[in-house]
C-alpha cells in the first residue's frame, strides 16, 4: 500500500476521499501516547467517564444524518440501515456509560480474624481494536464504549473500505471532551497494523471483529506478550422452520435476518432449513416477498438492497451460486447481477434457491451475499445435525410455536446467539458472541465490560484486634 489510499463508493465507483496511511513510526507513537494516557484516564472517577461517554453518544445522535450518509456512501448499505446502525452504535455507548458506574468488587469472609480479603476490578490497559467494513460504526463503539467505561485507553484500525465513518466518530469523541490520546484511530493495512499492535508491549488487549482466518492469526501473534483477546469472527447461521411455525412471521424475519446489508453480516441466515411438510409453501411465500425488494444505490430512500462491497465479495457469491446451480439448485427468484467492472460496482439481486443439498459449497462457507438457500428436513434431529454441521457457532434462528420443539432446539443448537421466532436478536444490553470458530468472549450486556477488566485480590493481614 502507498502512503495513501482511496475510499470509493461501491454503488457508483466514484472516489469519495483519500486517506493517509499511518506509517510504522506514527503508529508506534500513537501506541505510546495511548499507553501514557492510560495513567490518567484510568484514575478519572467512573461518574466522570460516564458523563463523557454520554456526551459522545449525544454527539452521535446529533450527527446521525451526517454519519449515516458517510456510511452509505462508503459501505453501500441503504440509508435506512445506516441510520439504524448509528442508533445501534450509540446504544452501546449509552449502555456502557451506565455500566461504568457499576464496576463492583467484593469482599470475601476470611478464615482467620487477622485478615480481610478484598477483590477489586481494574482496567487492563491500552486496548487495540481492528474492525471490518460491514458495520463501520457499531463494531467500533461495541468495543470502545466498554473499554473507555472500564478505564482503558483505546486505539482502532478501521477497514480500508470504510474508514470515514470511524474517523468522524473518533472526532466526535474528542469534540465531546474525551482526550485525544484516550481514543485514537490509525489507518492502513490490517496485516501491517495487526503486527504492530500484537508486537507492542504497550497494548494489553486485542479486540477484533472480522474473519476467522485473521482472528486465528491475531490470537497466535498475541501469545508472545500474553495479551487479552476478544474475537468476534465469522458465522454461518442456520434458520430452522418447524412444521408448526407461523410462516408469515418466519418469512418476515427471514428477510430481516438474511437481506440486511445485502446479506453481508456475520449473523445472516445462510442456511434455511425447513420442515418437509411446509417447505413448498414457505419457499413460495419467501420468493414472492423477496422479489419485491428493490436493488440500487443506498442513497435512494426506496432501496432495500445495496451493492456488494467489492469484486472479491462478488466473486465469492458468484462461485457459490455457480456451484449450487451446477449441482441441481432451483432458482425461485433472483440470480441476476448488475456488474460494471470498469466502475468497480457489483449488485447481486436477492435470490431464493430450492433443492439445495448439504454438499453444496454455500452450505459450508460463509456466503456474505443476498442468497437464501432452502434445504428441507424430515426430523428435528436431522435439522439440528445440519444446523450444527459447521465449525461456526455465532447465530442461529428457529421458528416454532410448539414449546417442546422450541425447548429442544434452543438446547441443542451450538451457537452463542439464538433467536426463537426472532430474526434480529442483537441488542446493546445482551451478550453478543460466538462459540466454536466464531470467536472468544462476548460484546454487549454485563458480559461486554468484563474483558476490559483485570481482577485484583487484596489480602490484608495483621488485623486481629482481640488482644488490644
Ligand atoms: P477481514 O478480512 O478479517 O477484515 C477485517 C479487518 O481485519 C479489516 O480491518 C482488515 O484490514 C483486518 N485485517 C486483514 N488482514 C489482517 C491481518 N493479517 N492482521 C490483522 N488485521 C487484518 O474480514 P472481512 O472479510 O473484511 O469482514 C467480514 C468478516 O467479518 C466475516 O467473516 C464476518 O462474519 C465477520 N464479522 C463478524 C462479526 C461478529 O461480531 N462476529 C461482525 C461483523 C463481521 P484491511 O482494511 O487491510 O482489510
Q: Taking 80 as the threshold, does the pLDDT of residue 321 lie above it?
A: yes
Is the shortest distance between the CB of 434 and ligand 1 below 6 Å? yes
Ligand 1 pocket check for 439: Cβ under 6 Å: yes
Instruction: Give 327-367 pLDDT, tens digit per residue.
Output: 999 999 999 999 999 999 999 999 999 999 999 999 999 99
> What is the per-residue pLDDT for 11?
98
Judge if the beta carbon of residue 17 lies within 6 A of ligand 1.
no
Residues 365, 397 within the same domain:
yes
Does the pLDDT value for residue 1 go beyond 80?
Answer: no
Hey, whose CA ends up nearest to atom 14 of ligand 1?
190
Q: In terms of residue numbers, what domain contains 411?
A: 237-420
Query: Annotated active-site positions, please?
Result: 232, 266
Q: Are residues 249 and 296 in the same domain?
A: yes
Centre of ligand 1 to C-alpha 189, Å, is 11
Sign for the pseudo-dihedral over CA of 176, 180, 184, 186: positive
CA of 132 to the centre of ligand 1 (A): 5
CATH of the domain at 397: 3.40.309.10
Percent of the chain with pLDDT over 90: 99
pLDDT of residue 468: 85
Question: Residue 231 CA: which ligand 1 atom is closest?
Answer: 41
Look at strands 153-157 and 126-130 and give their pairing: parallel
Q: What is the mean pLDDT of residues 414-423?
A: 98
In a domain, 228, yes or no: yes
Do 273 and 199 belong to one domain? Answer: no
Are 292 and 370 members of one domain?
A: yes
For residues 254-260, average pLDDT: 98
Which atom of ligand 1 lies at the shortest distance from residue 194's CA? 20
**pLDDT bracket for residue 311 (50, 70, 90):** very high
Both 206 and 259 in a single domain? Answer: no
CA–centroid distance, residue 446 to ligand 1 (Å): 25
Distance from Cα 247 to the centre of ligand 1, integer Å = 35
Q: Are residues 154 and 243 in the same domain?
A: no
The answer to whether the CB of 99 is under 6 A from ligand 1 is no
Testing ligand 1's pocket by substitution, the residue of 89, 132, 220 carrying the most ligand atoms inside 8 A of its CB is 132
CB 10 near ligand 1, within 6 Å:
no
Predicted local confidence at residue 2, as pLDDT: 82
* Pocket of ligand 1 contains residue 166 by CB under 6 Å: no
Q: Say if residue 274 is in the same domain as residue 402.
A: yes
pLDDT-above-70 percentage for the chain? 100
For residue 31, is it within any domain? yes
Q: Relative to the CA of 133, which ligand 1 atom is closest?
A: 26
Does 430 reside within a domain? no
Residues 206 and 336 in one domain: no
Q: Which of 22, 190, 395, 439 to mutate to test the pocket of ligand 1 (most atoms within 8 A of CB)?
A: 190
221 and 339 share one domain: no
Predicted local confidence at residue 467, as pLDDT: 86
The answer to whether the predicted template modeling score (pTM) of the entire model surpasses 0.85 is yes
How far, in Å, is the centroid of ligand 1 from the Cα of 208?
8
Does 292 have pLDDT greater than 80?
yes
Domain membership flag for residue 132 = yes
The answer to whether residues 400 and 272 belong to one domain is: yes
What is the Cα–Cα distance from 103 to 150, expressed in whole angstroms?
A: 8
When pLDDT is cut at 50, 70 and 90, the band that residue 442 belongs to is: very high
The CATH number covering residue 165 comes to: 3.40.605.10
* Nearest atom in ligand 1 to 221's CA: 19
Question: Per-residue pLDDT averaged across 168-190, rounded?
Answer: 98
398 shares a domain with 306: yes
Q: How confident is the model over 255-270, as a mean pLDDT?
A: 98
Tell me how far the alpha carbon of residue 211 lies from the centroid of ligand 1, in angstroms.
5
Query: How many domains is the chain built from?
Result: 2
Terminal CA-CA length for the chain: 72
Q: Please give the pLDDT value at position 305.
A: 98
Answer yes or no: is pLDDT of 386 > 90.
yes
143 assigned to some structural domain: yes
Kindly state whether residues 225 and 245 are assigned to the same domain: no
Residue 426 lies in a domain: no
Q: What confidence tens digit (pLDDT) does each residue in 75-124 have?
A: 999 999 999 999 999 999 999 999 999 999 999 999 999 999 999 999 99
Q: Is the CB of 132 under 6 A from ligand 1?
A: yes
Q: How far is the CA of 139 from the centre of ligand 1 (A)?
A: 11
Q: Give a yes or no: residue 334 inside a domain.
A: yes
- The tens digit of pLDDT for each residue in 120-156 reads 999 999 999 999 999 999 999 999 999 999 999 999 9
Look over the chain and give the mean of its residue pLDDT values, rounded to a whole number.
Answer: 98
Q: For a ligand 1 pocket test, name from 141, 203, 210, 364 the mutation site with the most ligand atoms within 8 angstroms of its C-beta.
A: 210
Determine, yes or no, domain membership for 108.
yes
The whole-number pLDDT of residue 368 equals 97
Amino acid at each position: 500500500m502507498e502512503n495513501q489510499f482511496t475510499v470509493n463508493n461501491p454503488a457508483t465507483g466514484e472516489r469519495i476521499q483519500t486517506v493517509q496511511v499511518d506509517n510504522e513510526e506514527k503508529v508506534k507513537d500513537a501506541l505510546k501516547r495511548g499507553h501514557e494516557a492510560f495513567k490518567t484516564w484510568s484514575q478519572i472517577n467512573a461518574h466522570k467517564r460516564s458523563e463523557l461517554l454520554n456526551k459522545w453518544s449525544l454527539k452521535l445522535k446529533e450527527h446521525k444524518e451526517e454519519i449515516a450518509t458517510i456510511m452509505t456512501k462508503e459501505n453501500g448499505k441503504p440509508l435506512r440501515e445506516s441510520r439504524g446502525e448509528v442508533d445501534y452504535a450509540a446504544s452501546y455507548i449509552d449502555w456502557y456509560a451506565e455500566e461504568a458506574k457499576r464496576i463492583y468488587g467484593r469482599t470475601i469472609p476470611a478464615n482467620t480474624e487477622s485478615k480481610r480479603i478484598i477483590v477489586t476490578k481494574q482496567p487492563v490497559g491500552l486496548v487495540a481494536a481492528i474492525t471490518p467494513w460491514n458495520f463501520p460504526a457499531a463494531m467500533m463503539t461495541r468495543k470502545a464504549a466498554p473499554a473507555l467505561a472500564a478505564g482503558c485507553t483505546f486505539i482502532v484500525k478501521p477497514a480500508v473500505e470504510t474508514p470515514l465513518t470511524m474517523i468522524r466518530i473518533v472526532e466526535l469523541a474528542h469534540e465531546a471532551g474525551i482526550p485525544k490520546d484516550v481514543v485514537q484511530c490509525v489507518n492502513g493495512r490490517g496485516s501491517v497494523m495487526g503486527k504492530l499492535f500484537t508486537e507492542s508491549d504497550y497494548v494489553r488487549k486485542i479486540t477484533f471483529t472480522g474473519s476467522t482466518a485473521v482472528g486465528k492469526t491475531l490470537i497466535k501473534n498475541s501469545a508472545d506478550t500474553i495479551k487479552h483477546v476478544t474475537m468476534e469472527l465469522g458465522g454461518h447461521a442456520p434458520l430452522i422452520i418447524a412444521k408448526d411455525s407461523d410462516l408469515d412471521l418466519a418469512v418476515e424475519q427471514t428477510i430481516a435476518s438474511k437481506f440486511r446489508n445485502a446479506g453481508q453480516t456475520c449473523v445472516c441466515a445462510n442456511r434455511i432449513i425447513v420442515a418437509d411438510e411446509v417447505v413448498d409453501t414457505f419457499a413460495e411465500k419467501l420468493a414472492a416477498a423477496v422479489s419485491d425488494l428493490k436493488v440500487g444505490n443506498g442513497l435512494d430512500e426506496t432501496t432495500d438492497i445495496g451493492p456488494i462491497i467489492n469484486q472479491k465479495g462478488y466473486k465469492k457469491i458468484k462461485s457459490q451460486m455457480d456451484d449450487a446451480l451446477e449441482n441441481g439448485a432451483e432458482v425461485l427468484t433472483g440470480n441476476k447481477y448488475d456488474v460494471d467492472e470498469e466502475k468497480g460496482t457489483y449488485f447481486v439481486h436477492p435470490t431464493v434457491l430450492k433443492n439445495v443439498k448439504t454438499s453444496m459449497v454455500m452450505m459450508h462457507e460463509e456466503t456474505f451475499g443476498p442468497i437464501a438457500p432452502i434445504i428441507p428436513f424430515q426430523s428435528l434431529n436431522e435439522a439440528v445435525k445440519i444446523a450444527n454441521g459447521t465449525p461456526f457457532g455465532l447465530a442461529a434462528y428457529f421458528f416454532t410455536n410448539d414449546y417442546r420443539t422450541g425447548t429442544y432446539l434452543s438446547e441443542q443448537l451450538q451457537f452463542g446467539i439464538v433467536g426463537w421466532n426472532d430474526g434480529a436478536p442483537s441488542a446493546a444490553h445482551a451478550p453478543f458472541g460466538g462459540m466454536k470458530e466464531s470467536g472468544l468472549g462476548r460484546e454487549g450486556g454485563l458480559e461486554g465490560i468484563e474483558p476490559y477488566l483485570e481482577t485484583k485480590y487484596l489480602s490484608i493481614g495483621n488485623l486481629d484486634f482481640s488482644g488490644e
